[in-house]
Amino acid sequence: MFKIGEQVKTEVTATVVGRYDVIVCGGGTAGCVAAIAAVRNGASVVLIESDYFLGGMMSAGNAGLTKFILHGKDTDEQTKIVEELRKDASKVQLAGGIPLEITHRLLKNKAAIGTAGTAASYVYTDSQEFKLLLFEMMVEAGVKVLLHSPVCDLLLDGDKIIGVVTQTKTGRLAYLGDYIIDSTGDGDIAALAGVPFELGVGPEDAVYKQGLAELGKLQEVGSMFRIGGVNFDRYIAYLKEHPEAFVVQTFGQMSYEEFFKAYENGEMIISRGITPSGYLFQVYNYPHPGIMVGCIGVGGTRNVLDVEVQTRAEYDIMIAAKTQVMELRTYVPGFEDAYVLDTPRAGIRETRHILGEYKLNVIDILTQREFEDTIGKGCHPVDIYPMPKEIEELPQRDSWYFNIPYRCLVAYGIQNLLMAGRCISSTREAAGCTRPTVPCMITGEAAGTAAALCKKSGIKAVKDVDIASLRAQLISQGARI
């Protein structure tokens, strides 16, 4: 008779069904870009995804593509950057390559809305069109895609992963591969392989050292949910009559004047406002009329690696979305007939921080530290709470960015495992900059390219890739290093 909490040993057989040069685990933005990059560089690739679609939080959570352009210290600086974007986008866009290719295809198909017809601080996309485009690009590239296939186990040979095992309706299926890319967000593959990690705040984080947060604290869960039935023109007219209802959005830094200019141009707008009752809200426009995207969070530390905690978070997101829409219906003109169009999967900001060959930290970010193995640049500001004093006290620079070293993508102790996306090696504060969608795509392109180069050169350990060759190849693909 088993007892609750007792560890039970089971034996399950798996069928080996394929062998590939590169196995990408996780079909979000990082994983999809990694798979495309690896195939384009000559590798055979299988992309394994647990869900029924590709695109991760871009598809499941309505997350915007952010950020492509330099980050200004204030609204005036950001306005100058946007003006430069309109003249010559290449001077201020820090993400190129496959991420920019995907975004421009979305914009061309009118499945996204950006600034000046290109990628800027935010690009909002039609999630259905995004799913479809990624599938089209997988077919074009020749990536083998497997959906409904959560990874449940690994085949290990010492410090090397020789295969991954999935649990499907068909049964347990095993895929053999030379190089593995973990783009699961939570670092599931690295954790299964025994790579060390920290959950939430770790001992190297500034918030812990300064007594602002306890060990293990995690950021709140959020959601970008769609709101239907919005009268845009009426809402805009209300804001023109009531400038006190407009609040500058911290990360987009769109001024009151720039907001109306962008709306008149049919561009991306970020509206942060306050209702007469004191309720602070944030909404974004969408590629299709009458729809906006709302932004909400449900507070408290929530370890969503616990399925019961994750379940409660999904319910709380539904409640929060309904609460916000009811507030907008009551107080904000243009939202009288608004309704919750959908409440997508809860957005997870933080779980495992996997240990790599190097751990990116907040000082690296804020000082724009140069690395010999930089594989891309990010420009998203530090998005965490509570905010470390290093950030609050640092004199703000004009338009800034940060560098991402390749070593952050190399899992510690496993010779053929790379990481891409939210689970790369970083402290909590640095992860507040690297976890948004565009940096995830940048690390995805680097990881996929590196794996393919390792295969081509016969390199066994991914940490031994020739950095000069990797950087040169990324640049030839349009990446900005």
**Rounded-to-integer distance, Cα 35 and Cα 46, Å:** 8
- The pLDDT assigned to 251 comes to 64
- The pLDDT assigned to 447 comes to 99
Taking alpha carbons only, the member of 146, 136, 186, 197 closest to residue 23 is 146
- The pLDDT assigned to 177 comes to 98
Taking alpha carbons only, the member of 316, 300, 303, 306 closest to residue 213 is 300
User: Residue 94 in contact with residue 480, Cβ under 8 Å?
Assistant: yes
- The pLDDT assigned to 355 comes to 98
Q: Which residues pair with 285 in a beta bridge?
A: 292
- The pLDDT assigned to 51 comes to 96
Per-residue pLDDT of the chain (481 residues; tens, 9 = 90+): 788 988 888 888 999 999 999 999 999 999 999 999 999 999 999 999 999 999 999 998 888 899 999 988 888 888 889 899 999 999 999 999 999 999 999 999 999 999 999 999 999 999 999 999 999 999 999 999 999 999 999 999 999 999 999 999 999 999 999 999 999 999 999 999 999 999 999 999 999 999 989 999 999 999 999 999 999 999 999 999 999 999 887 666 788 888 999 999 999 998 899 998 899 999 999 999 999 999 999 978 899 999 999 999 999 999 999 999 999 999 999 999 999 999 988 999 999 999 999 999 999 998 999 999 999 999 998 888 888 887 777 766 778 899 999 999 999 999 999 999 999 999 999 999 999 999 999 999 999 999 999 999 999 999 999 999 999 999 999 999 9
Q: In the chain, what are the domain boundaries?
A: 15-65+127-202+351-476, 221-342
* Distances, alpha carbon 6 to alpha carbons 1, 10, 12, 106, in Å: 10, 13, 19, 50
The 3-class SS string of the chain reads: CCCCCCCCCCCCCCEEEEEEEEEEECCCHHHHHHHHHHHHCCCCEEEECCCCCCCHHHHHCCCCECCCECECCCHHHHHHHHHHHHHCHHHCECCCHHHHHHHHHHHHCCCEECECCECCCCEEECHHHHHHHHHHHHHHHCCEEECCCCEEEEEEECCEEEEEEEEECCEEEEEEEEEEEECCCCCHHHHHCCCCEEECCCCCCHHHHCCCCCCCCCCCEEEEEEEECCCHHHHHHHHHHCHHHEECCCCCCCCHHHHHHHHHCCCCCEEEEECCCCCEEEEEECCCCCCEEEEEEECCCCCCCCHHHHHHHHHHHHHHHHHHHHHHHHHCCCCCCCEEEECCCCECCCCEEECECCCECHHHHHCCCCCCCEEEEECCCCCCCCCCHHHHHCCCCCCECEEEEHHHHEECCCCCEEECCCCCCECHHHHHHHCCHHHHHHHHHHHHHHHHHHHHHCCCCHHHCCHHHHHHHHHHCCCCC
* Distances, alpha carbon 304 to alpha carbons 105, 218, 308, 346, in Å: 34, 10, 8, 10
Q: What Rg, from alpha-carbon coordinates, does the chain have?
A: 22
- The pLDDT assigned to 396 comes to 66
| Residue pointed to by tokens 């390559």 | 97
- Domain 15-65+127-202+351-476: which topology? FAD/NAD(P)-binding domain (3.50.50)
- The pLDDT assigned to 429 comes to 94
